Amino acid sequence: MDQIWDLERYYPTSPEATYSDQTTDFARYQRLQQLLLDGQALSVGLSERPRDATLWLKRGIVLLELGILELAMGDLYKCQLLCDSRLYSNETSTYTNINDPITQTQDNPEFDDQQEQVSALKLMSSLMMLEALQKTHCFQDAIDLASQMVEVFPQTVEFQIHRDTAKESLRRFLSLHGSLKGSSAMIPHLFGEILRKPYPWMSGEYLRRPKQFIPRMNGEIRSTSSQAEPTSALEASHWDDSSVEEVSMFAVRNIQKGELIIKDVQMIAVCEGSSMSLCNYCFDRVSSRKKFIAKGSQATYCSKQCLKAAITMNTHTSRPSERLLSFCAKDMSHFFPPIQLLPRLLASCIDSLANGDIHPLLHPVISRWKADFRISNGVRFPFSFKTHIQRPISILQELGVDIFRASQFDTWVIINILNRIGANMISRPAQLQSKPQVSQMRKSNRPNPRQSKHPIIHSLGFIQPLFNHSCNPSVLIEPDHGGIVFRARRHISKGEELSVSYVDLDTLQHGSHALLQWFDKCLCTVCEERSR
């Protein structure tokens, strides 16, 4: 964030942003430019003084006014954590005067009692946080925070007002949409919502895959292929209306119907919606009489082969260990699937990322997954402070990351990683010793396990997201032990693009609706013919 905050790349992530229209009012335009300069200056200051609570508060206020609310929450929360560490422990943090100029980073000499300053910072950051929560419709998060602050600052009536306002907003929504209770239509308001947009300091290297991506991936595909002669390779393509590089999988030779194309064995996965004991690798049932437990953890496996595979399944990990399995086996079933997958992804890459050798968004694993940014047709996505801000920060702390000093793990990076996980993960019923129908497999951001008789496996493949969608796919996806396999649905000629179907719905109306999770409109020949 200490890079240039470019006005041309500025997009508010809140529909309620004050500066969503940059051209109608010159005074507002000037204010917007000043806010971007202030944000950049504060980011530079934080790189020099990462434990200065006031700088986190100031940047949070700037982001709040810019309408980038999820990042404002991240900064305000870090300010609160620093305040709490000063209030309740002997840890030393630094505090500048909130009234000092943006770029000043000297200790404040005006406060004789630093305890008073810390309390003032916590009070202000909490009020700003409540404003952000209200604007993102995170009503339950706002109620919880306001109730907590009423106990800490009983004389501050604003917290009582915020709590009552959030309760009324939540009550009003439930009364208007009571018939939707328990359905996915309730999620955006119960969990809040944001727009996924690139941030103003994100240059092309964070938006498109790196130049070495294609040769590196083709080498990985060749090493993964079980055939003497590989069937597929990755190639680049450029769309006229986008500066982001696209890739597609193509056949490098003729492929016969039913022939195995490739197996995606390097899966990061979690299982949701099961009360039974399942293997942490293949997610099959685990017998109480025959189970294997990773040393020092509660992670259970159905066989020695699965335990060994779980330790070594990710060839990109720099520290496979049973302690890592213990961390990843923690129960997070009440979080969204992307949050459940986040610790496994971070834990497998944490050493190379924490050393600062490479930025997380440019990491060989993470950079292969394309983020979902819709500039012209923004889509609202479920968002929650607890799941998208608080829990990821807690995960980083559990992994030993200094969340204040390690700028490569700033909130904007984590939000982008979650975006990539949500846009590329696939969900399918667990096998449970019986092979499910291929038609049961689906790609989805949030399947409802209550509506399924089987547990749902949410997995993030290293090869699967490289296949593009078609409603008349040339490739079938089939579940396989510890991963998925790709087989030719029909004869495929050399040079033909390999495509899979993200959905298995017969009607254009339902199919198009499901596909809106990943892109605006399907333009394949099947959908064009159906729409005529």
Q: Is residue 290 part of a domain?
A: yes
Angle at 144 between CA 61 and CA 63, to 5 degrees: 15
Q: Are residues 19 and 143 in the same domain?
A: yes
Q: Say if 54 falls within a structural domain.
A: yes
The per-residue pLDDT for 115 is: 79
Cα 528 to Cα 457: distance, rounded to the nearest angstrom:
32
Q: Would the pTM of this model clear 0.85, i.e. be above it?
A: no
Quick one: which H or E segment has residue 41? helix 26-48
pLDDT band at 116; cut points 50, 70, 90: confident
Span 258-270, average pLDDT: 79
Position 51 scores a pLDDT of 92
Interval 4-10 mean pLDDT: 86
Residue 527 belongs to domain spanning? 508-532
In this predicted structure, the answer to whether residue 282 has a pLDDT above a threshold of 50 is yes
DSSP assigned state of 378: -
> With 90 as the cut, is the pLDDT of residue 131 above it?
yes
Residues 109, 252 within the same domain:
no
529 lies in some domain: yes
Q: In terms of domains, do 306 and 227 share one?
A: yes
pLDDT in tens, 461-472: 788 888 888 888
Cβ–Cβ under 8 Å, residues 349 and 316? yes
| 232-254 average pLDDT score | 69
> What CATH number is associated with residue 230?
2.170.270.10
Close Cβ partners of 112 (under 8 Å, ≥ 6 residues apart)? none
Average pLDDT over residues 394-405: 88
- Is residue 249 assigned to a domain? yes
Q: CB of 420 within 8 A of CB of 365?
A: no
Q: Which is more confidently placed, 62 or 296?
A: 62
Structure confidence at residue 142 as a pLDDT band (50, 70, 90): very high
Both 177 and 237 in one domain: the answer is no
**Range among 17-26, 113-122, 440-449 with highest mean pLDDT value:** 113-122
Higher-pLDDT residue of 129, 17: 129
Q: Give the per-residue pLDDT at 298.
A: 60
Query: Which residues are within 8 A (CB) of 12 and not within 5 positions of it... i.e. 6 or more apart?
Result: 19, 20, 66, 67, 68, 195, 197
- Cα–Cα distance for residue pair 55/360, rounded to 1 Å: 24
Candidate ranges 63-67, 108-112, 237-241, 425-429; pick with highest mean pLDDT: 63-67
pLDDT band per the 50, 70, 90 thresholds, residue 430:
low
Strands (E) in 342-400, as ranges, are 380-382
Number of structural domains in the chain: 3
Question: Residue 2 pLDDT > 50, yes or no?
Answer: yes
Indicate if 501 and 512 belong to the same structural domain.
no
Task: Report the distance separating Cα 282 and Cα 467, nearest Å.
Answer: 23
